[in-house]
Amino acid sequence: MELVVQFQVLNQSCQCLAWKPRPIVAWGAESQHVVAGYSDGTIRVFSISRTEMELKMHPHAVALTAITYSTDGEMILSGGKDGLVAISSPRTGMTIHVLTDHKGSPITVLQCTRKQYCDFGVEGSELWLATSSDRRVSIWASDWLKDKCELLDWLSFPAPASPEGLSSLPPSLAAFCPWEAGTLVYVGFGMQKEALFYSLHKKQVVEKISLPYFATALSLSPAARFMAVGFGERLLRLLRCPASDAQDYTGHDDTVHLCCFAPSGRRLLTASHCAVLVWELTG
């Protein structure tokens, strides 16, 4: 538990970051690159092994709010406070697509997952989603080598008028379900406090899980049917899906704004205002 490498960018705040996916090689090499998005609209790629910045791009005119790599690490997807989504190549430093479908509402989540060409009757080697704070989710099929990017589905979740006394609405969050192909999970401010499982095949919500409060953080385990949900009430809930049991945990000093399962699924990292907690899942 020691600090190994530190990168500093003067006069800019880092708003989001992502590890480059591990290369698919027999040696199982570790990823050595991190991409970070900043408040001035720039993206920087850092090499951990060489402890230096390798690339700087400026695809956005406003602060970034979400960033991720494509599953093969060949593209960087970034979202801004203005709702624009940029697709950029870390090899050339060029931005090859700018999508305006979510324009006007900050991007809260970008996530990519592998898919087969025939899964949904459209061409594409990858499926990815974008979520914006106005409770909209777009799902795309892409083939980066062929410069193809096709909208597969568009979701809009209803919500009542903003209640008095609520200074800011809970974030809109979505994630592909690791254990249920073609399904995504959504949480956000809405008519009910719940997590919704939406089937891309059936084009409908197939399961609802009631929550005690509106969620502020979400993570799905890649190794087992577990879902972690954080709340503004300093509470963390661990759910076994389908919703058979739930366990609540305290210990945070403020709103739980981050949940993240380790790739093994055996550990869970959560964060609040000035505390980072690491949980171990036993059994």
What are the residue ranges spanned by the domains of the chain? 163-282
| Mean pLDDT, residues 156-173 taken together | 81
| Mean pLDDT, residues 127-145 taken together | 94
Band (pLDDT 50/70/90 cuts) for residue 24 is low
pLDDT, tens only, 200-257: 999 999 999 999 999 999 999 999 999 999 999 999 999 998 877 899 999 899 999 9
pLDDT at 163 over 90: no
Band (pLDDT 50/70/90 cuts) for residue 189 is very high
**Cα separation of the two ends of the chain:** 25
Burial class (CB in 10 A: 0-12, 13-18, 19+), 236: buried
- Looking at residue 164, its pLDDT comes to 62
Rounded to the nearest integer, the mean pLDDT of the chain is: 91
Phi, psi at 144, each rounded to 5°: -65, -35
CATH class of 163-282: mainly beta
- Looking at residue 26, its pLDDT comes to 46
pLDDT at 28 over 60: no
Residue 111 and residue 125: Cα distance in Å, rounded? 14
